[in-house]
């Protein structure tokens, strides 16, 4: 899964829970940005590259999402 797909899946997950989601590209350096879901946030790097397993686990933990829910 790449970063763009990750954001789309988080949006779908959040909609099912009535949470607001927003991506702010200006809150990052270079190709990084910040993804907000409800009251939590995580940093998203280059949206075209694949996400490694460790980074994916960290991003999901930042947002409080179980892997099975996404």
Q: Tell me how many domains the chain contains.
A: 1
Model pTM score: 0.88
Domain range enclosing 21: 3-69
CATH of the domain at 8: 3.30.920
Tens digit of each residue's pLDDT (9 = 90 or more) over 15-45: 999 999 999 988 878 788 999 999 999 999 8
DSSP assignment letter at 32: -
Q: What is the dihedral of CA 33, 36, 40, 44, to 10 degrees?
A: -30
Res 48: pLDDT:
79
């Amino acid at each position: 899964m790449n970063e763009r797909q990750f954001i789309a899946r988080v949006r779908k997950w959040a909609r099912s829970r009535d949470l607001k989601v927003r991506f702010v590209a200006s809150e990052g350096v270079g190709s990084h940005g910040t993804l907000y879901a409800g009251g939590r946030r995580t940093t998203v790097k280059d949206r075209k590259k694949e996400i490694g397993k460790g980074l994916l686990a960290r991003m999901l933990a930042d947002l409080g999402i179980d892997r099975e829910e996404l």
